[in-house]
Structure 1
């Protein structure tokens, strides 16, 4: 495995280790800024991990058409 793939998987692991309690359970407050920050951090880490893992894949030689 190369470095990009390992960093991407670490981002996924960190995203799922973030406490989801603030963004999912404590929603009775209208100004739940902490929940919004945790949710946006989760989304950012998921997409960053996906981008890193996909960009680390071996490039194919065929053109596709």
Structure 2
């Protein structure tokens, strides 16, 4: 498992244990939208959803 995936999974485990997004965000130095993004991706795709997506544009307009 990549380090980034481990980090995101740790955030989600912490959220599951404390059930408080504010506490998780303060401890992990992340924002609530970031936590919600990873929760959504994990629910939709499981552990595979926790890896970063490519931010490169899909189309290059000329």
TM over 0.5: no
Output the TM-score relative to the length of structure 1: 0.40
Larger Rg: 1
Higher helix share: 2
Output the TM-score relative to the length of structure 2: 0.41
